[in-house]
Amino acid sequence: MDRKELEQKVAEYNRLLHEYGHAYYVLDQPTVPDHVYDKMLHELLAIEQEYPDLIYPDSPTQRVGGEILKGFNKVEHRYPMLSLGNAFSEADLKSFDERVRQSIGDNFSYVCELKIDGLAISLMYDNGLFVRGATRGNGSVGEDITENLKTVHSIPLRLKEPVTIEVRGECYMPKKSFTNLNKVRAEQGEELFANPRNAAAGSLRQLDPKIAAKRNLSTFIYAIGGSGEDYGLASHSDALDYLDQLGFNTNQERKRCQTIEEVFAYIQEWTEKRPNLIYEIDGIVVKVDRYDQQQELGNTVKAPRWSIAYKFPAEEVMTKVLDIDLTVGRTGVVTPTAILEPVQVAGTTVQRATLHNENIIHEKDIRIGDAVIIRKAGDIIPEVKQVLFDQRPEGLEPFTMPTHCPACGSELVRIDDEVALRCVNPSCFAQVAEGLSHFVSRNAMNIDGVGERVVSQLLREGLVKDVSDLYTLNKEELIALERMGEKSAQNLLDAIEASKKNSLERLLFGLGIRHVGAKAARLLAEEFESIDALMDATVEQLTAVFEIGDKMADSIVMYFEKEEVRELIERLRQLGVNVYYTGKKINTEEIDSVFNGKTIVLTGKLSQLNRSEAQKKIEELGGKVTGSVSKKTDLVIAGEDAGSKLTKAEQLGIEVWNEERLIEELS
């Protein structure tokens, strides 16, 4: 390939990757499968490494994270980033409304928006190119976090129009990402983040942008710095539409309200819907819409008079600690959990609350028998906020963590000064049970019928000691188990037999290699194609795979260096388990399917297909399956007992199919 052809290829890859990224991260309407995007990005990265002069300033490769920073420079905001006044009740909002009406009369509208619980950011663009991103700081001076913000896929590196503009927004961590991040940190003995906002802020203030790149952050842009009138706009709602046009991700749940009563109705609606959002909100922002009226109302030293933030009340309740339970996870981490008197918190009955680790218990001095205040951290994870010491009964002893594993009796250890205690006995019953449950799970080997109860029975009866023993089970052994009939036993054996044909990525994920999730397993399987090639791979060969970092590579090499692991792989091979990648590489341009390019939601119970099977088949035909119904949804597949998602689809006029129609189109 000559130089001109190479330059054309780089330009085309940049253009396509920006289009694919915008469709996926902003519009939630993917146009190509993940592996197509990943492969193109990997090829572009390889070209740029060989020809650094071909790196575009807005190249999508810059999102993977660059060199470690020495620190953050201070930057002065062109326009101050004012904070908002708070309202905590309808009375506060009525007072705000009265002040507005006294100043500008009754001929105005409000715009109501969800108040995203994240970190406020400012983004600068020069002729459409992203040149700087900063934190709010003290409102006048913030920190330059440009390199970290480049890793956030919903932030466009180049706008759809060559404008010079400053915009304001909120960078946040989705609830699911927060839960997964804390789960990994707990397994690694690291301190947990208290809530998604802290996790987002901590991610953006990492000196290593590669860490921020792995945190799955997102953004909502909510304003133009200075005045939107500079761009010919008359109102805040016009500005939000213009930001959409430029390629930013704005929150589509905004609403224009004519009266304060309509504002109250909007607040009530989102108070009820709040638990179902995939991100955390802590209130509602109310703004006077027209810019001329905003200017007439003006600002105080710290806050605008034309806007206010209604803050949701934090729901905290009192209960009692009945016991502290200890569980041993798949990696050996011993996690304490408070067993509580059942109590209602944020609409659900809470009977357990995480205590994270021994340090948290000692810092809060939590004892069995204490009266405590609990809440849901970020409305997600129940936690003990504080102990009511004035109600503590006499004689309660401080809680101490055991020195030996509660499951197998082996001595517990701390590795590399981790906070967490670990059981390092590879034969520990609890760890083996967790490992087996993971191996048979739907996203791993997908062996239906091996639930928690069956796993415990198999281990107690000595029928399995590791995952390879699953493939030696016979019907007589299974029928002898409690509540296991002949038909159930045969179904289980059939599921075990079928799992032998799984592609390599399922086996890799099922083995539970530390740091290797489902996506990484697929990337490794696609790259190395056989488990033998992967077992012999060096750290350098592994890190050459897109998205495989040093920590994961080290973990993989250490895992396969163990003799017992290699023996396990050989046993699985001898028992007929496939150890090769058999996945299909999908090219959506060649797919002739009604699903191709469509966003689809599955709801209700499917009787002929399970949810994972249906999703896999749809994605193989170029469709994108998402979890919630919105205006962007093209099709809803409704099974039995379909609920609110079906109702919303009907309200929005979205096409709805039953399972029979789905199967007809899949066949």
Higher pLDDT, residue 73 or 32: 73
Tell me if 50 is assigned to a ligand binding site: no
- Asked if residue 501 has pLDDT above 70, the reply is yes
Q: Determine the Cα–Cα distance for residues 233 and 240; give it in Å rounded to an integer.
A: 10
Looking at residue 367, its pLDDT comes to: 96
Tell me if 405 is assigned to a ligand binding site: yes
Looking at residue 64, its pLDDT comes to: 63
Whether the predicted model's global pTM rises above the 0.85 cut: no
Sign, CA dihedral 20-24-28-34, equals: positive
Higher pLDDT, residue 56 or 591: 56
- Asked if residue 590 has pLDDT above 60, the reply is no
Count of other CB atoms within 10 angstroms of residue 122: 24
- Sequence length of the chain is 667
Q: To which residue do tokens 């990402």 refer? A: 177
Looking at residue 622, its pLDDT comes to: 77
Higher pLDDT, residue 49 or 134: 134
Looking at residue 378, its pLDDT comes to: 46
Tell me if 13 is assigned to a ligand binding site: no
Q: Report, as an integer, the average pLDDT of 184-199.
A: 79
Least confident range of 157-171, 195-209, 216-230, 374-388: 374-388
Higher pLDDT, residue 392 or 314: 392
- Asked if residue 246 has pLDDT above 70, the reply is yes
**What's the DSSP call for residue 658?**
-
Quickly list DSSP for 594-653.
TTTT-EEEEESB-SSS-HHHHHHHHHHTT-EEESS--TT--EEEE-BT--HHHHHHHHHT
Give the confidence band of 60 by pLDDT, cuts at 50, 70, 90. Answer: confident
Higher pLDDT, residue 43 or 496: 496
As a whole number, the mean pLDDT across the chain is 86
**Contact predicate 169/123, CB 8 Å:** yes
Give the residue among 170, 46, 63, 70 at the shortest CA–CA distance from 119. 170
* Amino acid in the structure at residue 16: L
Instruction: Give the contacts of 109 (CB within 8 A, at least 6 positions apart).
Output: 256, 257, 258, 288, 289, 290
Looking at residue 132, its pLDDT comes to: 94
Q: Report, as an integer, the average pLDDT of 611-639.
A: 80
Percent of the chain with pLDDT over 70: 94
- Asked if residue 586 has pLDDT above 80, the reply is no
Give the confidence band of 617 by pLDDT, cuts at 50, 70, 90. Answer: confident
| 115 labelled catalytic | yes
Q: Report, as an integer, the average pLDDT of 546-562.
A: 86
Looking at residue 577, its pLDDT comes to: 95
Sign, CA dihedral 363-369-373-375, equals: positive
Q: Report, as an integer, the average pLDDT of 312-337.
A: 88
- Asked if residue 599 has pLDDT above 60, the reply is yes
Give the confidence band of 172 by pLDDT, cuts at 50, 70, 90. Answer: very high
Q: Report, as an integer, the average pLDDT of 352-369.
A: 91
Q: Report, as an integer, the average pLDDT of 290-303.
A: 83
Looking at residue 633, its pLDDT comes to: 86
Tell me if 35 is assigned to a ligand binding site: yes
Tell me if 136 is assigned to a ligand binding site: yes
Helices 429-440, 452-460: axis angle to 10 degrees equals 130
Q: Report, as an integer, the average pLDDT of 444-463.
A: 88
Tell me if 113 is assigned to a ligand binding site: yes
- Asked if residue 564 has pLDDT above 80, the reply is yes
Tell me if 287 is assigned to a ligand binding site: yes
Which stretch, 221-235, 298-312, 605-619, 623-637, has highest mean pLDDT? 221-235
Q: Report, as an integer, the average pLDDT of 312-318.
A: 80
Catalytic residue among 9, 94, 115, 631: 115
